Amino acid sequence: MADLKAAFEAAVANSKNLSERPDNATLLKIYALYKQATAGDNAEKKPGFGDMVGRAKWDAWNGLKGTSNDDAMQQYIDLIESLS
């Protein structure tokens, strides 16, 4: 568990230093996996139609409902490694 957390924290640091900016779909996946790994299932209120970015983020995170924190951490690590 400690190894996974350390690898996750390293991947978070690496995500800020990617050679090129990922496309929006990939950025949403990164965001959703991070939120799922750190906060668990989405329990926040869905943003209104006027907040398109907030709504996209909410939908991406909500799509991971039921994914364990450890699974989300591992998927996040794998995704960042594939982009590095």
Q: Where are the domains of the chain?
A: 2-83
Rounded to an integer, the average pLDDT of 60-80 is 97
The pLDDT value recorded for residue 84 is 86
pLDDT in tens, 16-62: 999 999 999 999 999 999 999 999 999 999 999 999 999 999 999 99
- Euclidean distance between the first and final Cα of the chain, in Å? 23
The pLDDT value recorded for residue 52 is 95
Question: Please, how many CA atoms are within 13 Å of residue 60, restricted to the half-sphere of its CB?
Answer: 19
The pLDDT value recorded for residue 2 is 78
In CATH, the number for domain 2-83 is 1.20.80.10
pLDDT > 70? residue 1: no
